[in-house]
Structures are given as structure tokens and as C-alpha cells.
Structure 1
Amino acid sequence: MEHYDVIIVGGGPAGSTLAWALRNNGKQVLLIDKADFPRDKTCAGWVTPAVIDSLGIDLEDYRQSRVLQPITEFRIGMMGQPPVDNDHGDEPVSYGIRRCEFDTYLLDRVTADKQMKTAVKSIVREEGNWIINDRWQAPLLVGAGGHFCPVARELGDGPGKHETVVAAKEVEFEMTPEQEKVCAARGEQPELWFCKDLKGYAWVFRKGNFLNIGLGREDNHKLTEHLEAFVNEMKAQGRIPSDLPSRFKGHAYLLYAHAERPLVDDGILLIGDAAGLAYTQSGEGIRPAIESALMAAETIRRAPDMSAQSLQRYGDAIADRFGRRAMPDNGGWQLPGWVKTSVASGLMRSHWFTRKVVTEKWFLHQDVPVFKAAV
């Protein structure tokens, strides 16, 4: 049996950031993931300057061999009506990335032990340790494996009855020269198109010669229908090529305000999508994943033991950062009640509303200070 201080299940941004943040603290860390990296990940694929800052990423180094698309504009609209184009100035307000590259970059920075292409087949609690696959043990087990993380199941029986599970489908592909010529979408201007019922939104995002198209909704039984209608409309408008790949990949995640999963217990805690931390207004999960990992690292460094009481510092930090969870009656994307009325279509035609509220507040969270963990 191999012994570690911390076992992290999931090598995405949350798990790799936690392992990276613990690099100089004398902790023996093992990171496990069922996939082999690079791997595809369903995601529109952009990160804000706050994420870059929190992770200490050198942009010049990153862009040497990876896609890094500066974003200075947004096109916001409601399906079926003309969009609004907003220019945010010369400085990028976000950066387009390919998740297969970004996640691998973060994972490659990790110096801890890694076990890739390794599924978690068994989790056993024994004498204060967690035993994984009858091979590795540690007093602390961290779930960072997304919505279906096996560690999350140890803290409950699955999604609660009030949890809003958002389902999304997307495709990302490298365009041929012919497709590039007919694609009207511009890299510096991602497009966000809200469903008329405000239960989800679609996107068109060009990153160099790569194109990402997708749609996410809280009622997944209508997901394919809405996606097909959106794609057909974008094709008819000439925004995207007519010959797209036929297979869209799926993904599911929890919105923060509606997730019921506990975050900690004796010797166990959840970070990132495993904890259900995606922003309620936008569904964006990379920044919450990164910040939750940095908060978890601080807690682990300071904790006198791995009891639930000691680890509760992490739960308190999450609540302080993202607010107390609540399940509003209107559910879904937690849009204010006055938005979910006939005025919504008018608001989506407003430059002020689409820029100051939709983009800068809901999607970019520019009003939230950068989170940096103590060293």
C-alpha cells in the first residue's frame, strides 16, 4: 500500500491547481485521473485575466505553442432578434483557450505523483484513511472530478431534488481554409445568444482557425431541439460554415446557488465542478474551480488534522467568496424576477444592460477582486 498525505481525484483545472498550490508545503500528493492528457473537454473555452493572474501564467510563454485568443468585444442577443455589439476597449477582457491545451498546461506544472488513465474503482474508509483501488491511501481525499466525480458520491447519494443540473452540448474543430472564408464569426468577439425562455444560452466562439459552437440549458430534455434550431439559424445567417462536424459532445454541471452537495466531511472535501461551483448566472466554472482549489490548499496547509471541523474553514471560505447557497423559487440561472418578464427582449437590445450586466457582471465578474492564495 502506497501512502500519501493527499489524494486528488481529477486532473482538470481544479485538481491540477490544488496539486500545484501544495508543491512547496511538504505534502505527499497523488493526482489520479481516468483520462490521458491532452483530452477534450466540453467547454466554450475562455478565461478571464483574473484566472491568469491567480495562476501566475506567463501569457507570452503560454501563447508560444497554444491558442490564446484576446477578447475585446462581445455580441449579445436573444434568439430571434437582432444582437447588440459591445466594444470593451483595446485591452483584452478575456482570452479564448482550447481546453485540451489549457488543462494539459496546468497539469504539466504539477510535480506531484500522477496516475493518468486510471479509473477510481473503489473507495474505502479505514482507520482514518481513504483507500483507493486497494493500492493508495491518504488521510485526505479531494474530489475534483467534475459533476460525476466518484468522490462526490461519498458525501451523498447524488444530486438533490432541488439541484439544477445544466446540460450542455458543444463542438470544437479546426476549420478548413474554405470554412474559414465563409465563417463570419470573429475571434475577438464571442457571441452569446440567450434562449427566449432564459433557461439557457448558446454561443459561437472563434479562436484563430478553431471554432466552438454550443448550447447549455437547465432542462436537458429539450437540449438537442434547441441546439439544432440555433445551429440552423446561425448557418442561415452565414455566421458559421454549413458543413459542421456531426457529433456534438455533452457535459453536465451544477449551478452554485442550487447545488446541495456538502463540501467537506471527515478527511474529504470537494472542489470545482465536483462541488457544484459554476457561476449561477453564466454557468462558467473555470474561475470558481481555480479559486476553490487555492482556498482548499490554504485550508490543508493550516489544518491541524483532517477532521470535518478543521476542514470547515474551506467551506466557510467558499461561502464568503461566492455567497450562501439558496434555492430561489424561480430556479435556473438566478436571473432577477423583473428580467424574466416581457421586458427581457428589450433589455437584450440595450447596450448598457448587455455590457454592464450580462457581460461584465454575469460572465466576466469584473466587480470581483482577483483571488490569490497566501504563499
Structure 2
Amino acid sequence: MIKTNVIIVGGGPAGSSCAWQLRRRGVDCLILDKAVFPRPKLCAGWITPEVVADLEMDIAAYPHRFLTFEVTRAHLFGIGLTMRSPQHSIRRIELDHWLLERSGAEVITHQVKRIERTPNGYRIDDRFECAALVGAGGTACPVYRSLFREINPRARALQVAALEQELPFTWQDRDCHLWFFEKGLPGYSWYVPKQDGYLNLGVGGMTQRMQDTGASIHRHWEHFVTSLRRRKLIDAGLALEPRGYSYYLRDGVEKIRHENAFLVGDAAGLATRDMAEGIGPAIRSGILAANAIADGGEYSLESVSPYSLGAGLPRRALEYGLSRRWAASPAAKVHDPG
């Protein structure tokens, strides 16, 4: 039996940031993840200046691809908006591995199947024991499934289904482009260049709304690719094979701690309600959970904003289109299949 103070289930940005902060606070921890790092990860890879600050990153010393956009071009209801606040892109396969190594925590490759409450904490698969447990395993996190699903049901109306691909590509337009609600899509699509010849393309839409209207994320992907070719952002003959995943936009998140178990990142459903940004909330929640464990204090998401944009019309329009319009549905709060 391996025993430690804290076990973190999931080695992505939420889990590795939690481990990094715990170790800085002098708390022993162990990370369990079913994947071997570095591992591919579907994600647009857009990070904000707030992420850089929370991670205390020295951009000049970061050893992997890191591209700064001085301009982000948003296309909303056919209107072009230019955002001039610097933003950045990374490759998740690189960033996640770097963060995990930087944390200094021990990492064991293990797929968590069973979690039991013990008098002194938690036991996992009769192999691991800990006093505190952190669920950082994304949408399908076993900590959420075992300990939180009944007490913190997710809002199915806020579930996003996405199709995405990252590929080597010599892009010509170095600006990040975001399209919202094109062709009736209750969501967004993106074109995110990466440094040194990589490109991330994706489409995400609100699952319940698409089901209600008979829409298909695959048909929206086909429309998106056609529009990219028409705009000459990708080559006509480029072969694409996207893969899918899902996550949740931020709701009330009523229960993020149960006894000495904590949820962080996508396991808690923290992607922002306007821009569907997930990396920033994941990292900050991981750090906050670590501080709560180290201090024996409160774990609160008060400093984790549910929005990426400041108050104003663009934020209100995006929130309405992505979340508020559907959140009033009678089926909004139901136990998801986890």
C-alpha cells in the first residue's frame, strides 16, 4: 500500500498546478494518471496573460512552442471584432508534460477504478491511501463519478461537444480566429496557429441544443472546413481526421469539496460561460485547492471568474448564445452519465 498526504487524480494543468503548489507549501503528494506523459491532448491551447501570471511562467525560458497573438479576431453574428489584448497559444502535449515535470511530484501511471472512504481519508483500488483527494481528471474524472455525481449534478444544458484536430501545417495567417454561432451552430469554431508550423482547428457546440434541433457537430465541422478552404486559411486538399470530446461550461458549481475531497478544472465544470476557456480556470482552481489543503482552510472559487471577457456587450452576447439561453431548460439540472 502506497500512502501519502494527498493524491491527485489527473496530471493535466489542474492536477500538475495543484501538485506544484502543494510541494511549494511543503505538502507531500502523488499524481495518478492513466496516460503516459507526454501524451496528445485535444485542446485549442489558448492561454491568457492571467494563466502566465498564475503559473509564474518565464516565457523566455519556456522550452517549447509559444506563440503570442497581438490580435485575436472574433466573428460574432457576422460582425468582425478585433481584440488587441495579447493572448498566447501552446501545444498541450508540450505544456502538460512541462508542468508535470516542473511540479516535482511523483507520477504513477494508473487508471483509477474504485475509491473508498476510510476513517483517515481515502483508499484507491487497494493500492493507494491518502488523507486528502483531488479530482483533476477532466469531464470523466473518477473522483467526480465516485464522490460528487449525486451531490453536484452537472447542468446538461451546459455540456459542450467538440470536434478538433491539431496538425503540422505551414499557416500564413498568424492571427487567432474565433467564429460564434455560424450556420446556426449553438457554439463556436476556432483557428489557432501554433509556433513553428502547427495549427489547431475545432468546432464546439451545446450538446442539448443540437439534439433538440436535430443538428450534428459533424455537419458543423464539414461546414467549418469548407469555410476555411474558401477563406484560404487551409489548403483545399488537406486531409483532416478530427476527434471528439466533451466538457461543461461553468454553472453554479454548488459542491466542489466534500469532506476532504476536492474537484478542480473540468472535473468541476469550470470552462468560462462566454469564451469556453478551460485552461485558466483549471490552473487557478488547482492552486486554490492546494492552498486550502495546506492551510486547512476554505476552498472557494470566488477568484475564478466564470468569464474570460470583461463586462460589456460582447460578453453578454456570448454568454446568452452559449449558456443562458439553454440553462432555463427544465432538463438543465440532471445527473449526467458521468
Alignment partners' CA distance in 2, 1:161 and 1:101? 32
Q: Which amino acid aligns with 1:192?
A: L
Letter matched to residue 319 of structure 2:
Q
Cα distance in 1 for partners of 2:306, 2:236 equals 43
State which of 77, 80, 83 in structure 2 corresponds to 1:84: 80
The residue type equivalent to 1:139 in the other structure is A
The residue number in structure 1 matching 2:72 is 74
- Compute the TM-score of the two structures, normalised by the length of structure 2: 0.83
Secondary structure of 1:172's aligned partner: strand
Residues in 2 aligned to 1:58 and 1:163: alpha-carbon distance in whole angstroms: 39
* Alignment correspondent of 1:151: 143
**Cα distance, 1:27 vs. partner?**
1.8
Query: Is the 1:162–1:260 Cα contact (8 Å) retained in structure 2?
Result: no
Structure-1 separation of matches of 2:28 and 2:43 = 31
Match of 1:275 in 2: 268
Structure 1 residue 195 corresponds to structure 2 residue 193: no
> Hey, what's the Cα distance between the residues in 2 that align with 1:223 and 1:229?
10
Report the CA distance shift for 1:298/1:215 in structure 2 as closer, same or farther (over 3 A). Answer: same
Kept in 2: contact 1:51–1:287 (CA 8 A) = yes
Counterpart secondary structure, 2:262:
strand
How far is 1:159 from its partner? 4.6
- C-alpha distance in 2 between matches for 1:161 and 1:44: 23
Q: Deviations over 1:30-57 (max 9, x none)?
A: 1011111111111111211111111111
* Letter matched to residue 12 of structure 1: G
Amino acid at match of 1:210: Y
How far residue 87 of structure 1 moved from its aligned partner, in angstroms, is: 6.3
Q: Distance in 2 between matches of 1:12 and 1:66?
A: 17
| Residue among 205, 212, 221 paired with 2:200 | 212
Seen in structure 2, the aligned counterparts of structure 1 residues 161 and 253 have a Cα distance that, compared at 3 Å, is closer
Q: C-alpha distance in 1, partners of 2:128/2:198?
A: 40
The match for 2:319 among 334, 337, 352 is 334
Other-structure match for 2:229: 235
Distance 2:319 2:185 in 1: 10
Q: Where does residue 25 of structure 1 map in the other structure? A: 25
Shift in Å, 1:168: 1.0
Tell me, what secondary structure is at the counterpart of 1:23?
A: helix
- Given the alignment of the two structures, is residue 96 of structure 1 paired with residue 94 of structure 2, yes or no? no
The Cα of 1:260 is off from its aligned counterpart by 4.8
Q: Does the aligned pair in 2 maintain the 1:75–1:191 contact within 8 Å?
A: yes
1:297 aligns with 2:290: yes
1:266 CA displacement: 1.1
Deviation of residue 243 (structure 1)? Answer: 3.0
Report if aligned partners of 1:123, 1:133 keep a CA contact under 8 Å in 2. yes
- Is the radius of gyration larger for structure 1 or structure 2? 1
For 1:239, what is the secondary structure of its paired residue? coil
> Is this contact kept in 1: 2:136–2:266, CA < 8 A?
yes
Match of 1:365 in 2: none
Provide TM-score, normalisation by structure 1.
0.75
**Whole-angstrom distance in 2 between the partners of 1:127 and 1:301:** 20
Write the distance in 2 (CA, Å) between the matches of 1:151 and 1:144. Answer: 8
- Displacement, 1:336? 7.7
Specify the SS of the correspondent of 1:280: coil
In the alignment, the residues of structure 2 paired with residue 266 and residue 97 of structure 1 have an alpha-carbon distance, to the nearest angstrom, of 36
Q: 1-side partners of 2:21 and 2:319: how far apart?
A: 32
Residue 335 of structure 1, CA deviation: 2.0
Is the 8 Å Cα contact of residues 155 and 261 (structure 1) preserved in structure 2? no
Please tell me the residue identity of whatever aligns with 1:150: P
How do 1:1-375 and structure 2 match up within 5 A?
A: 1-62=1-62, 65-78=63-76, 81=78, 84=80, 86=82, 88=84, 93-116=86-109, 118-153=110-145, 154-157=147-150, 159-160=153-154, 162-175=156-169, 180=170, 183-184=171-172, 186-187=173-174, 189-196=175-182, 197=184, 199-208=186-195, 209-219=197-207, 221=211, 222-257=216-251, 260=253, 262-303=255-296, 313-314=298-299, 317-319=300-302, 321-322=304-305, 334-335=319-320
Counterpart secondary structure, 1:233: helix
Structure 1 residue runs without a partner (length 5+): 304-309, 325-331, 341-375
1:321 deviates by 3.9
Question: CA 1:162 to 1:84, structure 2 compared with 1: closer, same or farther past 3 Å?
Answer: closer
CA distance, structure 1, for counterparts of residue 155 and residue 100 of structure 2: 34
Give the superposition deviation at 1:70: 1.1
Paired residues in the alignment total: 306
